[in-house]
Amino acid sequence: MKSGKSPGRRDDIGPDPDLEIRLPSRIRNTPLERLLKSALIFGSNTGNTGYVAGLIIKALQPEITLEVVDVNSIDAVDLSKMDFALCGIPTWDVGQLEQGWNEIFEELDGVSLDGLTVAMFGLGDQSTYIETYQDAMGILYRKMIERGADGGIGFTTTDTHTYEGTLGTVEGMFCGLALDEDSQPELTEERIEEWALSVKQAWPSVVASAVPTND
């Protein structure tokens, strides 16, 4: 469905021959009809963002249970029908969106995301792409907000990250969970756990906003 990776390009942490074995089976192309209006949706050229998605799902449980969906199996219209989407995206090459998310991005101008609440997590490489670190997460987040989605959930500090430029911040904070499996893999699990706590605290308001009123 998608074209292959350009020679010499990197996704988030590079190819891992054992990754497919490590991925939970539920991550592999979950049919859209199984969604219950909320999901973790990820895109990845090498599979690494999908692996991180599995770690995030475990950290959110049992308070929050989300289906995990490959972005290649949905489109922007599907997003517009959801109540909550946790979007996972790596920054590709120099500040570009991953291929599957790029297709969604190009479709977003044709839909309204009113009624959708979004949260984000992004993978980047601050040592190699120091001027475009986490750009894709910020580009996608801003576009979704522009199309009517609600956000502000799971913002994280820029402390402990070192970079010269990023589009991934909003008012001085990353607009989601920022991970770097290249330079700081030892911080990934701790960052996920801390971020998951903040999302759990915000979850009741997400649920309340999705419940129809009698007005």
| The predicted structure's pLDDT at residue 206 | 86
Q: Are 155 and 176 in contact (CB under 8 A)?
A: yes
Sign, CA dihedral 77-176-25-38, equals negative
Against a cut of 0.75, is the pTM above it?
A: yes
- Per residue in 130-187, pLDDT (tens digit) is 999 999 999 999 999 999 999 999 999 999 999 999 999 999 999 999 999 889 999 9
Q: Which two tokens stand for residue 47?
A: 């599979």
Percent of the residues in the chain that have a pLDDT greater than 70, as a whole number: 81
Q: Are 10 and 125 in contact (CB under 8 A)?
A: yes
CATH fold label, 22-210: Rossmann fold (3.40.50)
| The predicted structure's pLDDT at residue 48 | 80
Please give the mean pLDDT across all residues of the chain.
Answer: 84
Q: What is the mean pLDDT of residues 90-105?
A: 93
- Percentage helix, strand, coil, to 5, in the chain? 40, 20, 45
Phi then psi for residue 122, to 5 deg, are -135, 150
Q: Are 74 and 42 in contact (CB under 8 A)?
A: no
